[in-house]
């Protein structure tokens, strides 16, 4: 999708991101991340509006962030406690930040916002170089479900009102493992388009990216409450450690 760069997500979604993007698992995610992070100096890649980082900072965690979008970070700054979290504006594939960390995490499927396998591998490699010897890296992502596509596409209605409709369309490229979404909001006053291109990966490929970056799988769960990961899990929370 030409014209969609690392900062485009925030330009399109920041203003009402928190209203429309509540996965319903924020408290559980914060609890598990807090448990894993303990007193570890932590970095969140793609920190966004601080949905997760702000509650962690409020519990006393030293947490830093990277995000490509000044608009998303401006929303983070508005949250109570969000003003003092150190955030670098940059591409998470580069992890261009000073210092080293004991824990790095990248959640809410955001690895897939990097739209090539190379960029995803680069993200793992650069995150790994920022990790101390006993450092941990955590990813949360959905397990791709190709059954939602018919003839490489879908159209689904998200919401209808008396004078509005919210429709999501998608085109799937199975060879590139990419999906280009277009979310279309139609009201009496006009139509708004909000695209989102992603490149998905299955857990096994993600493990291989980790391996290339000198990381090995330590734990994998099928939920933030540590449900076992099985063949029917819709998502995974995967924890990596430096390869021995
Ligand atoms: C789905 S939001 C997740 C935000 C936050 N981690 C959360 O869980 O609520 C995706 C975030 O990734 C950021 N993002 C997308 N591509 C990026 C890139 N290449 N480098 C850094 N941030 C990026 C967007 O600006 C946005 O803040």
Which of the four pLDDT bands, split at 50, 70 and 90, describes residue 244? Answer: confident
State in Å: Cα 69 to ligand 1 middle.
8
Query: Whose CA is closest to atom 12 on ligand 1?
Result: 46
Q: In what order do the strands lie in the sheet with 101-106?
A: 87-89, 63-67, 42-45, 101-106, 131-142, 235-242, 215-221
Sequential DSSP letters for 78-129: HSTT-TTS-EEES-TTTT--SS-EEEEEE-TTGGGGS-SHHHHHHHHHHHHH
Which of the four pLDDT bands, split at 50, 70 and 90, describes residue 20? Answer: confident
Query: Whose CA is closest to atom 13 on ligand 1?
Result: 46
- Evaluate whether residue 76 is within a structural domain: yes
- Residues having CB closer than 6 A to ligand 1 are 6, 9-10, 46-48, 51-52, 66-69, 72, 91-93, 107-108, 110, 113-114
Same-domain check for residues 75 and 186? no
- pLDDT tens string 201-230: 999 999 999 999 999 999 999 999 999 999
Q: Which domain holds residue 188?
A: 146-198
- 21 pLDDT more than 90: no
Q: What is the CATH number of the domain that holds 61?
A: 3.40.50.150
State in Å: Cα 163 to ligand 1 middle.
32
Name 38's Cβ contacts closer than 8 Å, sequence gap at least 6.
none
pLDDT score at 198: 98
As a whole number, mean pLDDT of residues 151-158 equals 97
- Evaluate whether residue 154 is within a structural domain: yes
- pLDDT tens string 175-204: 999 999 999 999 999 999 999 999 999 999
- CA neighbor of 70 nearest in space, from 2, 6, 4: 6
Q: For residue 44, which atom of ligand 1 is closest to its CA?
A: 6
pLDDT score at 65: 98
- Evaluate whether residue 121 is within a structural domain: yes
Same-domain check for residues 192 and 219? no
State in Å: Cα 46 to ligand 1 middle.
4
Same-domain check for residues 78 and 155? no
pTM: 0.96
Which of the four pLDDT bands, split at 50, 70 and 90, describes residue 47? Answer: very high
Compute the mean pLDDT over every residue in the chain, rounded to the nearest whole number. 97
Last residue of a domain, which of 183, 198, 213?
198
Same-domain check for residues 209 and 110? yes
């Amino acid at each position: 999708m030409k014209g969609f760069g690392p900062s485009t997500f925030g330009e399109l979604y920041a203003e009402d991101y928190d209203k429309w993007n509540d996965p319903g698992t924020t408290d559980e995610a914060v609890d598990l991340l807090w448990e894993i992070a303990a007193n570890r100096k932590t970095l969140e890649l793609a920190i966004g509006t601080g949905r997760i980082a702000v509650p962690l900072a409020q519990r006393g965690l030293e947490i830093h962030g990277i995000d490509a979008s000044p608009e998303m970070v401006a929303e983070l700054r508005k949250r109570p406690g969000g003003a003092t979290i150190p955030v670098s504006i940059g591409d998470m594939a580069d992890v261009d930040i000073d210092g080293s960390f004991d824990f790095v995490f990248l959640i809410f499927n955001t690895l897939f916002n990097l739209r090539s396998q190379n960029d995803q591998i680069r993200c793992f490699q650069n995150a790994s170089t920022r990790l101390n010897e006993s450092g941990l890296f955590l990813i949360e992502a959905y397990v791709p479900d190709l059954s939602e596509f018919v003839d490489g596409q879908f159209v689904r209605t998200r919401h209808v009102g008396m004078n509005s409709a919210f429709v999501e369309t998608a085109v799937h490229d199975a060879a590139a493992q990419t999906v280009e979404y277009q979310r279309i909001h139609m009201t009496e006053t006009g139509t708004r388009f909000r695209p989102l291109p992603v490149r998905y990966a299955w857990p096994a490929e993600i493990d291989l990216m980790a391996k290339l970056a000198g990381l090995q799988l330590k734990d994998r769960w099928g939920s933030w409450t540590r449900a076992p990961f099985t063949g029917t899990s819709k998502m995974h929370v995967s924890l990596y450690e430096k390869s021995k």
